[in-house]
Amino acid sequence: MATSVGAADAKASLEIDGKIYPTDDWTNVTPKILSYLGVNKHLQRNHPLSIIRQRIINYFYACYRNSRGNPLFSVYDQLSPIVTVEQNFDNLLFPADHVSRNKSDCYYINQNQLLRAHTTAHQADLIACGLDNFLVTGEVYRRDEIDCTHYPVFHQLDAVRLVTKDTLFGRNLDLEIFENDWQFKVKDAPKPETSSKCLDQTKQMCHTLEAVKLMEHEMKGVLVGLAQDLFGSQLEYRWVDTYFPFTQPSWELEVLYNGKWLEVLGCGIMRHEILQRSGAHNNIGYAFGLGLERLAMVLFDIPDIRLFWSNDSGFLKQFNEDNLHKLPKYKPISVYPQCSNDLSFWLPLGVDVDAGFACNDFYDLVRSVAGDVVEQISLVDRFKNRKTNKSSVCFRIVYRHMERTLTQAEVNEIHKSIADACVETFKAEIR
Ligand code: FA5
Ligand code: MG
C-alpha cells in the first residue's frame, strides 16, 4: 500500500492507498505504522491468526442457525481500519474526556480520523445497516509499550447479537424486554458514572431484570463454549466484573492457562442508547471483543508477538488450515542471541517524561527506525541535573532478530541511527 507525505507542503496531507487525508497537530501515524494497512494477516491462508479466526467463525456458525439450517451470523473481515473519532469513540458513548482518546494512546491521521483502536468501532454503523447478528474482524492499532506480548498492531474479533422480545421469551410468555415507563425514569435519574473505575454491575434502567438475566445467560454460555472449544473442555475459567462505556453490565472472561489467569475477552449487555440511535430500539443485545494474537500465542505456544508478522518459511510452514481441529505447537527454529544497548540523552530544558516527552513517542521512533529487530525497550533511568535543570532519560533497547544472529556491528549501526533520529526529533543531546 503506497503512502507518502504531500510533496508541496511537507505536513499538509497524507496519501494512503491513493486517498488524500489532511493532517494537523493531531497527526501521529508513522510511515511504519501505515505500512500495516492492507496486510490482512488474519486472512492469510495457513497463518495462525487466520486459523484462530476461522475456528471462532465456525463455532458461531454452528451455534446459531436459522430455521433453514443456515448460519445466523454474517462476517465482516475487510472493513477499512481508517475510522472517524465518532465511530471509534462517540458512537460508543465514550465520554469526551476519556483517557483512551489521547494522542498518546492512538494513531491519529488528523483530529477527526484515526486508525481504529478496536473493531467495536464498526458496531453502530452495522446495526444502522439493519444487521442483528454479526462478527467483525481485522487489525487494530494502539500506541503501547514494547515487549513480547505488545505490538502496536494486533487483531480483534468483535461480535454483536441482537434479539427481539419474541426470540428472547418465545411468543407465549407475558414477559417484556423494557420496563414500562423507563423513558420518564431515565429523564430524572442522575447521570450514570462513566469513570473506568466504576464497575456498576446493575442493569440499565430501561431493561427488565428477566431480559438482562436471559441475555447474560445466553452470552456467557456461548462464550464459555467458545473457550472450551479452543482450550478443551477441562478448562478453568472465571468471570470478572469490568467497565466499558458501551456495555452495562460488563465482564471479562479469564482462563487459567499454565497456572496463570489470562484475560481473553471483554463483553456485556449493549447500552440501549447505542441501539436506539442506530434504529434498533426494540432490541436488546450482547457484544464482545477478543484478541486473536492472545489466543494464538497460548494455543500454538508462540512466544513472541512479532512472529505473527514473520514471513520466514520456517515459521509459516508449521501451520496448516486443512485440519482446523489439530492445532500444532510452535517449534522455535532456533533462538538467536539478544543484544542489549543503552541510550541516554538529555531532553531540552523544561521537557521531561510526562512534560512534553511521552515514552510512547520514543517507542514509535524506535519502531520506525529499527523495525522488528527491537524486541524490548524499557526506561531504566531518569535523572535531573540540579545545576542545568535539564532532565535525562536512559532507555535499554534489546535487539534480537527472529531469523538470524545480529552482529554487534549491525546493532551498533541501528543504535546510532536511533540516536541520530532522537537528536533530530526530540532536540535531544546524547550523553
Ligand atoms: C476492547 O477493545 C473492547 N472493544 C472489547 C469489547 C467489545 C467489550 C464489545 C465489550 C463489548 P480491550 O481493550 O480489553 O477491550 O481488548 C479486548 C481484547 O483484546 C482483550 O481481552 C485481549 O484479548 C485483546 N487485547 C487487548 N490489548 C491487547 C494487546 N496489547 N495485545 C494483544 N491483545 C490485546
Ligand atoms: Mg481489557
Highest mean pLDDT among 2-6, 58-62, 259-263, 367-371: 58-62
Given a cut of 90, is residue 164 above it in pLDDT?
Answer: yes
Q: Give the model's pLDDT for residue 184.
A: 66
Of 91, 78, 2, give the one whose Cα is nearest residue 43: 78
Q: What average pLDDT does this structure show over 80-85?
A: 98
Within 8 A by CB and 6+ apart from 122, the residues are 76, 79, 83, 87, 116, 136, 158
Q: Give the model's pLDDT for residue 155.
A: 98
What is the pairing mode between strands 19-22 and 13-16?
antiparallel
Length of the chain in terms of residues written: 431
Residue 308 neighbours by CB distance under 10 Å? 22
Instruction: Return d(Cα 390, Cα 427) in angstroms, integer.
Output: 13
Per-residue pLDDT tens digits for 135-148: 999 999 999 888 88
220 CA to centre of ligand 2 in angstroms: 17
Q: Give the model's pLDDT for residue 322.
A: 87
Per-residue pLDDT tens digits for 244-259: 999 999 999 999 887 8
Given a cut of 90, is residue 368 above it in pLDDT?
Answer: yes
Instruction: Return d(Cα 377, Cα 364) in angstroms, integer.
Output: 11
* Best of 42, 87, 118 for a ligand 1 pocket test (most atoms within 8 Å of beta carbon): 118
Pair 200, 243: CB distance under 8 Å: yes
Q: Whose CA is nearest to atom 10 of ligand 1?
A: 267
Query: Identical fold at 21-306 and 334-430?
Result: no
Q: Exposed/middle/buried for 409, CB within 10 Å: 0-12, 13-18, 19+?
A: exposed
Q: 415 CB less than 6 Å from ligand 1?
A: no
* 3-state class (DSSP) for residue 285: strand
Q: Give the model's pLDDT for residue 197.
A: 53
Q: Measured from the CA of 140, which atom of ligand 1 is nearest?
A: 2
Q: Measured from the CA of 160, which atom of ligand 1 is nearest?
A: 9
* H/E run at residue 214: helix 209-231
Q: What average pLDDT does this structure show over 21-32?
A: 96
Instruction: Return d(Cα 109, Cα 189) in angstroms, integer.
Output: 38
* Best of 294, 298, 308 for a ligand 1 pocket test (most atoms within 8 Å of beta carbon): 294
Q: 158 CB less than 6 Å from ligand 1?
A: yes
The alpha-helical segments, DSSP class H, found in 17-170 are 31-34, 48-63, 85-88, 123-128, 165-169
Q: 120 CB less than 6 Å from ligand 1?
A: yes
Tell me which residue has cell 414477559: 175
Given a cut of 50, is residue 8 above it in pLDDT?
Answer: no
* 334-430 topology per CATH: Alpha-Beta Plaits (3.30.70)
Domain ranges of the chain: 21-306, 334-430
Q: 286 CB less than 6 Å from ligand 1?
A: no
What CATH superfamily is the domain 21-306?
A: Bira Bifunctional Protein; Domain 2 (3.30.930.10)
Q: Give the model's pLDDT for residue 326.
A: 84
Q: Give the model's pLDDT for residue 199.
A: 64
Instruction: Return d(Cα 336, Cα 406) in angstroms, integer.
Output: 8
Pair 319, 296: CB distance under 8 Å: no
266 CA to centre of ligand 2 in angstroms: 6
Instruction: Return d(Cα 159, Cα 291) in angstroms, integer.
Output: 12
Given a cut of 90, is residue 114 above it in pLDDT?
Answer: yes
Per-residue pLDDT tens digits for 168-218: 998 767 899 999 877 766 666 655 555 555 566 789 999 999 999 999 999
Per-residue pLDDT tens digits for 389-416: 999 999 999 998 888 889 999 999 999 9
The ipTM of this complex is 0.98
Given a cut of 90, is residue 42 above it in pLDDT?
Answer: yes
Rounded to two decimals, what is the model's pTM? 0.84
Q: Give the model's pLDDT for residue 191.
A: 57
